[in-house]
Amino acid sequence: MIVVTGAAGFIGSNLVLALNARGRHDILAVDDLTDGTKFKNLAEARLADYLDKDEFLLRVERGELPVIDAVFHQGACSATTEWNGKFVMDVNYRYSKTLLHYCQVHDIPYFYASSASVYGMGKSGFREASDCEKPLNMYAYSKFLFDQYVRQQTLRAQVVGLRYFNVYGPREQHKGGMASTAFHFNNQIVAEGRCKLFEGSDGYGPGGQRRDFIHVDDVVAMNLWFWDHPEKSGIYNCGTGRAQPFNDIANAVIAWHGKGHIDYVPFPENLIGRYQSFTEADHCQLRACGYDLPFMTVEQGVKQYLDWLNAA
């Protein structure tokens, strides 16, 4: 059996469907469906079973699980605006530690979602190294601390942490305000005929802030590549290695619709000094381990995403 936590979420549901495409239907989906609208992400999936995240953790702690081939731990509190530290540490840190130890004891490959948010403003670069890691919020801190914990362990089974950069693509609609700019720009063009971008900040012109935007299919491909290479463990950046401005996302959406324009809005005061104006995954460690799959550009990925989004 394969365990996917956060299975009804954005990356988790895409991972489940990719496993289905490989012929794996023996999947235990773990999530919190308090927001029942997320069921739609799994409506096309084939599963062996479903467990609430709290029930699953209880069974892990009691050792009451069947034989497991791999754990893809995608579940987390991913809201960067959540400041209830106890809640975030329980859901993101303690949960991840408990699963890690279970997988080590039972010799199970463990793949978990880390985050590029651990780099903070990125002034020291985006290498998978402690001198680059400067988290700015509780979410980032929980991911940062677990990465540090993993680094201290003597591992007997494969462990891979992937630091996701700005992920976009199908099945993110439930994320609301945390959904990608591609999702929001598409909705804005449909509703108003315009995309709203921030004016300049940190030396960047209007809409010129640059991020490493990665399509969810590329994220899934990286997870599965590491599963196919059990000799590889470590913490790796999961981005394209190519920073592109928000203007590129907006222009790709406008090009798809064949209409619309960009409106620049004042940069929010509450984000000054707390906003990543530039992110770009360093690929040195990833390429050194042998990962050689290509990544979609914004232009390629947004077109593919909007083909799906506007046909749904």
Domains of the chain by start residue, with CATH: 2-165+214-240+281-288 (3.40.50.720), 168-210+243-280+298-309 (3.90.25.10)
Number of other CB atoms surrounding residue 179 within 10 Å: 15
pLDDT at 87: 85
pLDDT at 80: 73
Catalytic residue ranges? 139, 175
pLDDT at 78: 74
Distance (Å, rounded) from C-alpha 248 to C-alpha 246? 5
Instruction: Give yes or no for residue 82 having a pLDDT over 80.
Output: no
- Average pLDDT (243-256) is 97
pLDDT grade for 270, boundaries at 50, 70 and 90: confident
Distance (Å, rounded) from C-alpha 175 to C-alpha 138? 18
Instruction: Give yes or no for residue 312 having a pLDDT over 70.
Output: no
pLDDT at 1: 96
Burial class (CB in 10 A: 0-12, 13-18, 19+), 299: middle
Question: Do 191 and 141 touch, CB atoms closer than 8 A?
Answer: no
Question: Do 296 and 217 touch, CB atoms closer than 8 A?
Answer: yes
